[in-house]
Amino acid sequence: MDFFDRLKAAAHDDWQSYVDHEFVRGMGDGTLPHEAFKAYLVQDYLFLIHFSRAWALAAYKARTLQDLKAAQDTLSAILNEMNLHLRLCERWGLSAEAVEAEEEHPANVAYTRYVLDCGMSGDLLDLHVALSPCVIGYAEIGKALAPNGVEALADHPYREWIGEYAGEGFQSAATAARATLDRLAQRGVSEERFTELVKIFGMASRLEAAFWQMGLDLGAQAKVA
């Protein structure tokens, strides 16, 4: 069991509330309302800007060249991920400027600033634990939503999104994030410290679940308006 799997097992319910959220199930079976997906994606673009800052902070706090390069690679993967958002938004007639001018939803502020605070007030392991549900969770969700490969999802309304996270690039970013966690944890984690880290991991997972819920709520509001 690697360090990530230990965290996941210790915060099982929080993790499940994230990876098995109604939003995820709706994407999987294609029933997720388009309004919810669109509202989520616009907020997610803003989210990725702040998550990129958090990965840059991980680079700043790195004490070894290996940790510094790992942070740089994931920062690049996240900046690449934003091309998906720009592509989809462009199709909906939304420019990058228009998306960037959108106001951040409180659920977005809560999650991104929580992670940044973990990095500012804690050490590098605190920060990587807070960051881990993001990269590793989306890789897990992408794989789960494409059990027979992305080619099998030919007419699926969310094929492009699923393909991004089930794809090789994102999967290898998640593998690297797991390896970084293992490397940092090998430097020593007492039982007491592990309990603290599980709290961070559980909170980050719940904030991920709240982010999906934000998408559903904004989508429902857009339908009514």
Ligand X SMILES: Cc1ncc(CN)c(N)n1
Active site residue 81: no
Per CB under 6 A, the list member of 8, 17, 32, 44 interacting with ligand X is 44
- CA–CA gap between residue 90 and residue 15 (Å, rounded): 33
Per CB under 6 A, the list member of 35, 81, 126, 140 interacting with ligand X is 81
Are 131 and 180 a contacting pair, CB within 8 Å? Answer: no
CB nearer ligand X, residue 74 or residue 126: 74
Cα distances (angstroms) measured from residue 59 to each of 21, 69, 162: 31, 8, 28
Q: Is 14 in the site for ligand X (CB under 6 A)?
A: no
Q: Is 48 in the site for ligand X (CB under 6 A)?
A: yes
Q: Is 164 in the site for ligand X (CB under 6 A)?
A: no
Cα distances (angstroms) measured from residue 131 to each of 25, 48, 224: 23, 12, 35
Nearest in space to 118 (alpha carbons), one of 164, 110, 159, 223:
110
Nearest in space to 40 (alpha carbons), one of 215, 216, 222, 223:
215
Q: Which stretch binds ligand X (CB under 6 A): 41-49, 122-130, 154-162, 179-187?
A: 41-49
- Residue 1 CB, nearest distance to ligand X (Å)? 23
Q: Which stretch binds ligand X (CB under 6 A): 96-104, 133-141, 190-198, 216-224?
A: 133-141
Q: Is 55 in the site for ligand X (CB under 6 A)?
A: no
Per CB under 6 A, the list member of 19, 129, 135, 185 interacting with ligand X is 135
Residues 177 to 196: which contact ligand X by CB under 6 A?
A: none
Q: Is 134 in the site for ligand X (CB under 6 A)?
A: yes
Active site residue 192: no
Per CB under 6 A, the list member of 14, 35, 140, 208 interacting with ligand X is 208
Per CB under 6 A, the list member of 211, 214, 215, 218 interacting with ligand X is 211
Label residue 51 exposed, middle or buried (CB < 10 Å: 0-12, 13-18, 19+). Answer: buried
The residues that are catalytic are 134, 208
Q: Provide the binding-site residues for ligand X, judged by CB under 6 A.
A: 44, 47-48, 78, 81, 134-135, 138, 208, 211
